[in-house]
Protein backbone atom coordinates (compact mmCIF):
# COMPACT_ATOMS: atom_id res chain seq x y z
CA UNK A 1 0.00 0.00 0.00
CA UNK A 2 2.79 2.40 0.95
CA UNK A 3 4.44 1.68 -2.38
CA UNK A 4 1.24 2.46 -4.26
CA UNK A 5 0.77 5.72 -2.37
CA UNK A 6 4.35 6.67 -3.13
CA UNK A 7 3.90 5.90 -6.82
CA UNK A 8 0.72 7.99 -6.97
CA UNK A 9 2.45 10.85 -5.16
CA UNK A 10 5.35 10.69 -7.60
CA UNK A 11 3.02 10.61 -10.59
CA UNK A 12 1.10 13.59 -9.19
CA UNK A 13 4.36 15.49 -8.73
CA UNK A 14 5.32 14.81 -12.34
CA UNK A 15 1.84 15.93 -13.47
CA UNK A 16 2.23 19.16 -11.53
CA UNK A 17 5.61 19.79 -13.16
CA UNK A 18 4.19 19.00 -16.59
CA UNK A 19 1.22 21.29 -15.98
CA UNK A 20 3.58 24.08 -14.96
CA UNK A 21 5.49 23.65 -18.21
CA UNK A 22 2.25 23.73 -20.17
CA UNK A 23 1.21 26.95 -18.49
CA UNK A 24 4.57 28.44 -19.42
CA UNK A 25 4.50 27.58 -23.11
CA UNK A 26 0.90 28.73 -23.52
CA UNK A 27 1.97 32.32 -22.92
CA UNK A 28 4.04 34.52 -25.26
CA UNK A 29 4.61 37.29 -22.74
CA UNK A 30 8.27 38.21 -22.48
CA UNK A 31 9.28 35.91 -25.32
CA UNK A 32 11.19 37.03 -28.41
CA UNK A 33 9.69 36.14 -31.79
CA UNK A 34 11.60 36.49 -35.07
CA UNK A 35 9.44 36.73 -38.21
CA UNK A 36 11.27 36.57 -41.54
CA UNK A 37 8.81 38.00 -44.03
CA UNK A 38 7.17 39.85 -41.15
CA UNK A 39 6.60 43.22 -42.79
CA UNK A 40 3.45 42.46 -44.79
CA UNK A 41 0.57 40.03 -45.19
CA UNK A 42 0.47 37.00 -42.95
CA UNK A 43 3.93 37.65 -41.49
CA UNK A 44 2.98 41.13 -40.31
CA UNK A 45 -0.26 39.79 -38.85
CA UNK A 46 1.76 37.20 -36.91
CA UNK A 47 4.12 39.89 -35.61
CA UNK A 48 1.19 42.09 -34.56
CA UNK A 49 -0.55 39.15 -32.87
CA UNK A 50 2.58 38.11 -30.98
CA UNK A 51 3.18 41.70 -29.89
CA UNK A 52 -0.39 41.97 -28.58
CA UNK A 53 0.34 38.93 -26.42
CA UNK A 54 3.38 40.62 -24.93
CA UNK A 55 6.16 39.20 -27.11
CA UNK A 56 9.07 41.28 -28.34
CA UNK A 57 9.11 40.91 -32.11
CA UNK A 58 11.91 41.09 -34.65
CA UNK A 59 10.82 41.42 -38.27
CA UNK A 60 13.00 41.04 -41.35
CA UNK A 61 12.30 41.71 -45.00
CA UNK A 62 14.16 42.41 -48.21
CA UNK A 63 13.17 46.07 -48.54
CA UNK A 64 13.94 48.90 -46.12
CA UNK A 65 10.68 50.70 -46.97
CA UNK A 66 8.69 47.60 -45.95
CA UNK A 67 10.62 47.31 -42.70
CA UNK A 68 10.01 50.97 -41.89
CA UNK A 69 6.29 50.70 -42.63
CA UNK A 70 5.97 47.60 -40.44
CA UNK A 71 7.75 49.26 -37.52
CA UNK A 72 5.23 52.09 -37.65
CA UNK A 73 2.48 49.53 -36.93
CA UNK A 74 4.36 47.57 -34.28
CA UNK A 75 5.19 48.55 -30.67
CA UNK A 76 8.31 50.57 -29.94
CA UNK A 77 10.06 47.48 -28.61
CA UNK A 78 10.01 45.86 -32.06
CA UNK A 79 13.15 45.51 -34.15
CA UNK A 80 13.38 45.59 -37.93
CA UNK A 81 16.13 44.36 -40.25
CA UNK A 82 16.71 44.27 -43.99
CA UNK A 83 17.43 40.69 -45.04
CA UNK A 84 17.51 38.86 -48.36
CA UNK A 85 16.66 35.30 -47.31
CA UNK A 86 18.17 33.89 -50.52
CA UNK A 87 21.70 34.99 -49.53
CA UNK A 88 23.23 32.45 -47.19
CA UNK A 89 25.94 34.75 -45.81
CA UNK A 90 23.35 37.43 -45.05
CA UNK A 91 21.13 34.95 -43.22
CA UNK A 92 24.05 33.65 -41.20
CA UNK A 93 25.11 37.19 -40.28
CA UNK A 94 21.54 38.12 -39.34
CA UNK A 95 21.26 35.35 -36.78
CA UNK A 96 24.76 35.96 -35.44
CA UNK A 97 23.77 39.57 -34.84
CA UNK A 98 20.36 39.29 -33.16
CA UNK A 99 21.24 36.94 -30.31
CA UNK A 100 18.95 34.47 -28.59
CA UNK A 101 15.21 34.25 -29.14
CA UNK A 102 12.27 31.91 -28.55
CA UNK A 103 10.42 31.39 -31.83
CA UNK A 104 11.31 31.58 -35.52
CA UNK A 105 8.50 32.17 -38.01
CA UNK A 106 9.18 32.05 -41.74
CA UNK A 107 6.60 33.57 -44.09
CA UNK A 108 8.84 35.17 -46.75
CA UNK A 109 7.97 34.50 -50.36
CA UNK A 110 7.79 35.84 -53.88
CA UNK A 111 4.39 36.48 -55.49
CA UNK A 112 2.58 33.25 -56.31
CA UNK A 113 3.70 31.57 -59.52
CA UNK A 114 0.56 30.48 -61.36
CA UNK A 115 1.45 29.45 -64.90
CA UNK A 116 0.99 26.43 -67.11
CA UNK A 117 4.06 24.20 -67.28
CA UNK A 118 4.71 24.98 -70.95
CA UNK A 119 4.75 28.71 -70.22
CA UNK A 120 6.80 28.64 -67.02
CA UNK A 121 10.43 29.68 -67.13
CA UNK A 122 12.55 27.17 -65.24
CA UNK A 123 14.71 30.04 -63.98
CA UNK A 124 11.63 31.77 -62.59
CA UNK A 125 10.41 28.57 -60.96
CA UNK A 126 13.82 28.20 -59.31
CA UNK A 127 13.64 31.77 -57.98
CA UNK A 128 10.19 31.01 -56.59
CA UNK A 129 11.60 28.03 -54.70
CA UNK A 130 14.73 29.94 -53.64
CA UNK A 131 12.90 32.27 -51.30
CA UNK A 132 10.14 30.00 -50.06
CA UNK A 133 11.97 26.66 -49.73
CA UNK A 134 15.70 27.32 -49.63
CA UNK A 135 15.23 30.56 -47.72
CA UNK A 136 13.34 28.66 -45.03
CA UNK A 137 15.94 25.88 -45.04
CA UNK A 138 18.76 28.40 -44.60
CA UNK A 139 16.93 30.31 -41.87
CA UNK A 140 16.41 27.16 -39.82
CA UNK A 141 19.99 26.01 -40.42
CA UNK A 142 21.47 29.20 -39.00
CA UNK A 143 18.70 30.20 -36.61
CA UNK A 144 17.91 26.97 -34.78
CA UNK A 145 20.98 27.16 -32.57
CA UNK A 146 19.85 30.50 -31.11
CA UNK A 147 16.36 29.32 -30.12
CA UNK A 148 15.95 28.96 -26.38
CA UNK A 149 14.65 25.86 -24.62
CA UNK A 150 10.92 25.42 -25.14
CA UNK A 151 10.96 27.42 -28.37
CA UNK A 152 9.79 26.57 -31.86
CA UNK A 153 10.01 27.04 -35.61
CA UNK A 154 6.87 27.68 -37.67
CA UNK A 155 7.19 27.49 -41.46
CA UNK A 156 4.70 28.19 -44.25
CA UNK A 157 3.30 25.99 -47.01
CA UNK A 158 -0.04 25.96 -48.85
CA UNK A 159 -2.85 23.69 -49.94
CA UNK A 160 -1.59 23.26 -53.52
CA UNK A 161 0.46 20.27 -52.44
CA UNK A 162 -2.69 18.35 -51.47
CA UNK A 163 -5.13 20.00 -53.87
CA UNK A 164 -3.17 20.98 -57.00
CA UNK A 165 -4.82 22.59 -59.99
CA UNK A 166 -3.58 23.25 -63.53
CA UNK A 167 -1.03 26.04 -63.44
CA UNK A 168 0.25 25.23 -59.96
CA UNK A 169 3.17 22.91 -60.71
CA UNK A 170 5.77 25.10 -58.96
CA UNK A 171 3.46 25.87 -56.05
CA UNK A 172 2.51 22.21 -55.60
CA UNK A 173 6.16 21.15 -55.66
CA UNK A 174 6.97 23.77 -53.04
CA UNK A 175 4.11 22.79 -50.74
CA UNK A 176 4.95 19.11 -50.81
CA UNK A 177 8.59 19.90 -50.09
CA UNK A 178 7.74 22.18 -47.16
CA UNK A 179 5.58 19.56 -45.47
CA UNK A 180 8.29 16.91 -45.83
CA UNK A 181 10.97 19.34 -44.65
CA UNK A 182 8.92 20.15 -41.57
CA UNK A 183 8.59 16.52 -40.56
CA UNK A 184 12.31 15.86 -41.08
CA UNK A 185 13.31 18.94 -39.08
CA UNK A 186 10.95 18.03 -36.25
CA UNK A 187 12.86 14.77 -35.81
CA UNK A 188 16.36 16.09 -36.41
CA UNK A 189 16.05 19.16 -34.18
CA UNK A 190 13.98 17.59 -31.37
CA UNK A 191 13.13 18.66 -28.71
CA UNK A 192 12.93 21.93 -30.65
CA UNK A 193 9.42 21.94 -32.13
CA UNK A 194 8.98 22.48 -35.88
CA UNK A 195 5.55 22.92 -37.49
CA UNK A 196 4.10 24.40 -40.67
CA UNK A 197 0.95 26.38 -41.48
CA UNK A 198 -0.93 25.71 -44.71
CA UNK A 199 -3.11 28.68 -45.74
CA UNK A 200 -5.74 28.52 -48.44
CA UNK A 201 -6.78 31.59 -50.45
CA UNK A 202 -5.87 34.64 -48.36
CA UNK A 203 -6.18 38.28 -49.36
CA UNK A 204 -2.51 39.35 -49.31
CA UNK A 205 0.06 41.09 -51.51
CA UNK A 206 1.19 37.72 -52.90
CA UNK A 207 -1.57 37.93 -55.51
CA UNK A 208 -0.43 41.36 -56.71
CA UNK A 209 0.89 40.13 -60.08
CA UNK A 210 -2.61 39.17 -61.15
CA UNK A 211 -4.55 42.00 -62.83
CA UNK A 212 -6.98 43.58 -60.36
CA UNK A 213 -10.06 42.31 -62.17
CA UNK A 214 -8.67 38.77 -62.26
CA UNK A 215 -7.61 38.97 -58.63
CA UNK A 216 -10.99 40.15 -57.40
CA UNK A 217 -12.71 37.58 -59.59
CA UNK A 218 -10.58 34.86 -58.00
CA UNK A 219 -11.44 36.06 -54.51
CA UNK A 220 -15.13 36.23 -55.38
CA UNK A 221 -15.30 32.76 -56.93
CA UNK A 222 -13.27 31.28 -54.06
CA UNK A 223 -15.59 32.85 -51.49
CA UNK A 224 -18.63 31.40 -53.26
CA UNK A 225 -17.14 27.90 -53.21
CA UNK A 226 -15.84 27.85 -49.65
CA UNK A 227 -17.96 26.54 -46.76
CA UNK A 228 -17.16 29.68 -44.73
CA UNK A 229 -18.42 31.92 -47.54
CA UNK A 230 -15.35 34.18 -47.75
CA UNK A 231 -11.63 34.18 -48.47
CA UNK A 232 -9.16 34.43 -45.63
CA UNK A 233 -7.56 37.53 -44.16
CA UNK A 234 -4.01 37.59 -42.75
CA UNK A 235 -5.31 37.79 -39.18
CA UNK A 236 -7.28 34.56 -39.70
CA UNK A 237 -4.13 32.64 -40.55
CA UNK A 238 -1.92 34.37 -37.97
CA UNK A 239 -3.90 32.59 -35.24
CA UNK A 240 -2.44 29.25 -36.38
CA UNK A 241 1.13 30.51 -36.02
CA UNK A 242 0.40 31.88 -32.56
CA UNK A 243 -1.12 28.56 -31.52
CA UNK A 244 1.91 26.61 -32.76
CA UNK A 245 4.27 28.90 -30.88
CA UNK A 246 2.31 28.45 -27.66
CA UNK A 247 1.36 24.80 -28.01
CA UNK A 248 4.18 22.80 -26.50
CA UNK A 249 2.74 19.43 -27.57
CA UNK A 250 2.73 20.06 -31.33
CA UNK A 251 5.62 19.19 -33.60
CA UNK A 252 5.86 17.91 -37.16
CA UNK A 253 2.30 19.14 -37.66
CA UNK A 254 0.62 20.73 -40.67
CA UNK A 255 -2.10 23.13 -39.57
CA UNK A 256 -4.46 23.96 -42.44
CA UNK A 257 -6.36 27.27 -42.44
CA UNK A 258 -8.27 27.28 -45.71
CA UNK A 259 -11.94 28.01 -44.98
CA UNK A 260 -12.76 24.39 -45.81
CA UNK A 261 -11.15 24.53 -49.23
CA UNK A 262 -9.83 20.98 -49.11
CA UNK A 263 -13.39 19.74 -48.60
CA UNK A 264 -14.86 21.12 -51.81
Tell how far CA 200 is from the center of its chain: 13
Of the pLDDT bands very low, low, confident and very high (cuts 50, 70, 90), residue 214 is: low
CB burial readout 157-193, b (16+ within 10 A) else e: bbbbbbbeeebbbbbbbbbebbbebbbebbeebeebb
Place 27 in a pLDDT band, splitting at 50, 70 and 90: confident
Cα separation, 222 vs 149, whole angstroms = 41
How many Å from the N-terminal Cα to the C-terminal Cα in the chain? 58
Q: What is the mean pLDDT of residues 50-70?
A: 97
Please report which confidence band the pLDDT of residue 179 belongs to, taking 50, 70 and 90 as the band edges.
very high
In the prediction, which pLDDT does 82 show? 98
Task: For the chain, give the percent of residues with pLDDT over 70.
Answer: 87
Tell me what pLDDT residue 167 has: 84
With cut-offs at 50, 70 and 90, classify the pLDDT of residue 18.
Answer: very low
Quote the CA–CA distance of 150 and 163 in Å, as a whole number. 33
Cα separation, 3 vs 84, whole angstroms = 61
pLDDT computed for residue 15 by the predictor:
42
Whether residue 58 contacts residue 35, with contact meaning beta carbons closer than 8 Å, is answered with yes
- Express as a percent the part of the chain with pLDDT over 90: 71
Helix (H, G, I), strand (E, B) or coil at 61: strand
Lowest pLDDT segment from 12-26, 132-146, 231-245: 12-26
Q: Is the pLDDT of residue 157 over 80?
A: yes
pTM of the model: 0.88
Question: How confident is the prediction for the chain on average, in pLDDT?
Answer: 89
Report, as an integer, the average pLDDT of 34-40: 97
Q: Which of 147, 136, 196 is nearest to 31 (CA)?
A: 147
Amino acid sequence: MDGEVGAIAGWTHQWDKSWDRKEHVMDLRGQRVVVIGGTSGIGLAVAEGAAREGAVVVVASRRQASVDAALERLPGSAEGHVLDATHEAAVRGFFEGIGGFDHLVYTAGEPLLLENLAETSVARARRFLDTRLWGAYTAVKYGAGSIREGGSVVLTTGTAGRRPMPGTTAAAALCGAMESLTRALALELAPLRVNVVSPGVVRTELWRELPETGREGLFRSSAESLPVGRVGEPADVAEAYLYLMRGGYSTGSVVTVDGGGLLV
